[in-house]
Amino acid sequence: MDLHDIQRGVLSPRPSPYAATYVLFRIDDRAHGRELMRRAASVVTSAADTLSPLGETWVSVAVTYQGLRALGVPQSALDTFAWEFRQGMAARATALGDIGPSSPEHWEQPLGGPDVHVVLTALAPDTALLEAAIDRARPAFRQLSGVTAIWRQECHALPTETEPFGYRDGISHPAVEGSDVPGSNPREQPLKAGEFVLGQPDELGGVQTTEPDVLGRNGSYVAFRKLRQDVAAFRRFLEQNSDGPDDAELLAAKLMGRWRSGAPLALAPERDDPALGADRTRNNVFGYACDDPGGFVTPGGCHIRRANPRDAAVAGEPRLHRMIRRGTAYGPLLPDGVTVDDGADRGLMFAFVGAHLGRQFEFAQSQWLNDGVFFGAGDARDPIAATGDGPHDYTIPRRPVRRRLRDLPGFVTTRGGEYAFLPSLSALRWLGALTD
Ligand code: HEM
C-alpha cells in the first residue's frame, strides 16, 4: 500500500483523548473550491507520517458526490463512483432504517441536502489547541469567498473513551494487509487492503477503480452519521428491567456484549473486570464459535456480536462486511444518576471508513443492526444502535428459559448524515489542478 498517498484518517487510530470538529462547506465558485483542494493537499497528513503539518492538529478532507460536481469533475468520471455514493445518504433512508423520527425530513439542516460539498474533520489533543488551529486557518478561508462553511459540530473523546451511554468505545478494529496498524484481535486474519482503499485487491479478488484512475486510487468512502442518544431513556430502561445496580450492569452488558468498562462478556461472563476492559492487549482477543455458539454468554442479538459476528455461524461471510469505524461523542454529558431527559442534544458522530459502502456499511446497518434474520431471530433489531420506527423485542438466551424483553424503545435517532469520498493526496492535488 502506498501509505504516503493515503489520508491518515483512513487507517491510523486517533490519539486519546482528543477534541474534534466537523465542518461542512458549500462550494459556490469552482475556482475557489479547487484552491481549497490544493490547500487541503498541503495540510492533510498521510498514513506514513507521524507528524502533522499543523503541529498537533490533524485534518482530513472528504468530498461528497455533489461536491465533486461543484468542483467540475466530468460526468464520465462521476459515473465511475459507487452507486450508493452517487445517491447520497438521504436517498438511501429506507434501506438504512432512517424512517419515523430518523427520516430525512426531520434531519438537522443542511445534513442530507444538496449544499453539503466538503466535509473537513480536524482533531487535536484538546479544545484549546483545536480552536487555536482553527483561528490560524480562518484568514485563509476568508480569501476563498466562493467556499462557505455551512455547519459545524464539536465533538470529544474522553480519556476513558466513553460514549454517552457510558460504554468504553474505540476498542475493536480490523488489521489491514500492508498497513502498519495492527488489528486489535490477533485471532482475526488481516483483511485485504482493497476492503478499505480503492485500487487494491479486496477479499473477493476485485479491484475498484475510477476513471481517471488517480481520482479513486488510494481513496476510501466514508459514511458520516450524527446519531442522537437518549441517555435518560436508556438509564430508565436499565433501572426498570433489573433488580438493583449490579443486575442493571449485567443487563447493560447483555445489550452491548461488553461491560461498560469495555471488558467483553466473552472473557468476563459473570462480573465486570475493569482491568481487562482497559487492557488493549486482552480486551478484544476472542471469538464466539467454540465457546458460545448459542449466545448464552454473549447474546447473538447484542450490539457487538451483530456488528461483527466474528467466527460465529451466521448467514453470509462476516469478513465481507467489516469496517473501520470512528465514534466521537458530541453534546454535554448527562450527569451520573440522572434519568430525566434534560432536553440537551447528545450522541455520537459516527464515521464508517471502507471501500464498499453497499456491502460493508449499508449491509451492516440494514441486515445486522436493523434485522435479525441473519442469526435466526426474525426481525429483531439491535438493542443499542437500531434506528427505525416503534418498539421492538430483545431476547437474552438463558437456561432453563430465555429472557425476553418486550417493547424496547429506540434509544438512537439519526439526526442526519452523508456519504463522502476521502481522496488520496494525489487526488486532492488532481482536483486542485482541474481546469474548465
Ligand atoms: C449511537 C449508536 C452507537 C453506539 C452507542 C455504539 C457503541 C459501540 C460500542 C460501545 C462498541 C464497543 C467498543 C468497540 O468494540 O470499539 C461498539 C462496537 C462496534 N460498533 Fe457500534 N455503536 C453505535 C452505532 C454503530 C453503527 C451505526 C454501526 C455500523 C453500522 C456500528 C458498528 C460497530 C462495530 C463494527 C463495532 C465493533 C464490533 C466488534 O468488532 O466486536 N456501531 N459500538
Backbone φ and ψ for 174, nearest 5 degrees, come out as -80, 160
What confidence tier does 348 reach under pLDDT thresholds 50, 70, 90? very high
User: Which residue has the least CA distance to atom 32 on ligand 1?
Assistant: 307
> Contact at 8 Å (CB) between 217 and 199?
yes
- CB-ligand 1 contact for 418 (6 Å cutoff): no
Q: Give the residue whose CA is nearest to atom 31 of ligand 1.
A: 307
Q: How many CA atoms lie within 13 A of 314 on its CB side?
A: 27
Tell me the average pLDDT of the chain: 93
User: Is a pLDDT exceeding 80 seen at residue 9?
Assistant: yes
* Stretch among 51-55, 188-192, 318-322, 416-420 having the lowest mean pLDDT: 51-55
Does residue 133 surpass a pLDDT of 80?
A: yes
Task: Please write the tens of the pLDDT for every residue from 65-109.
Answer: 999 999 999 999 999 999 999 999 999 999 999 999 999 999 999
**CB 387 near ligand 1, within 6 Å:** no
The pLDDT of residue 313: 83
- Ligand 1 atom closest to Cα of 364? 30
Q: What is the pLDDT of residue 334?
A: 94
| E-only strand ranges, 273-363 | 324-330, 347-354
Indicate whether 380 pLDDT > 90.
Answer: no
Arithmetic mean of pLDDT, 41-53: 85
Q: Tell whether ligand 1 has an atom less than 6 A from the beta carbon of residue 98.
A: no
pLDDT at 377: 80
Mutate to test the pocket of ligand 1, among 185, 384, 387, 419 (most ligand atoms within 8 A of CB): 384
Partnered with residue 122 across adjacent β-strands are 21, 59
Q: Quick one: the chain helix, strand, coil %, rounded to 5?
A: 30, 20, 50
What confidence category does residue 249 fall into, taking pLDDT thresholds of 50, 70 and 90? very high
Share of the chain above pLDDT 70, in %: 100
Average pLDDT over residues 308-316: 87
Which tens digits make up the pLDDT trace of 150-177? 999 999 988 788 999 999 999 999 999 9
308 lines ligand 1 (CB under 6 A): yes
- With beta carbons less than 8 A apart as the criterion, state whether 375 and 309 touch: yes
Please state the length of the chain.
Answer: 436
**Which grid coordinates are listed for 162?**
466513553
* Distance (Å) of CA 175 to CA 183, 224, 324, 379: 4, 22, 10, 31
Average pLDDT over every residue of 359-370:
95
Q: Please give the distance, rounded to the nearest whole angstrom, from the Cα atom of residue 350 to the centre of ligand 1.
A: 9
The pLDDT, as a whole number, for residue 86 is 98
Q: What is the pLDDT of residue 280?
A: 94
- Residue of 227, 249, 264, 266 lying closest to 365 (CA atoms): 227
Whose C-alpha lies nearest to ligand 1, atom 14?
Answer: 171
Confidence check: pLDDT of 376 > 90: no
- Is 350 touching ligand 1 by the criterion CB < 6 Å? yes
- How many C-beta atoms surround the C-beta of residue 36 within 10 A? 27
171 Cβ below 6 A of ligand 1: yes
DSSP 8-state code for residue 226 = E
- Of 14, 303, 348, the one to substitute when testing ligand 1's pocket (max ligand atoms within 8 A of C-beta) is 303
Instruction: Please tell me whether the overall predicted TM-score, pTM, comes out greater than 0.95 for this model.
Output: yes
Whether 124 shows a pLDDT value over 80: the answer reads yes
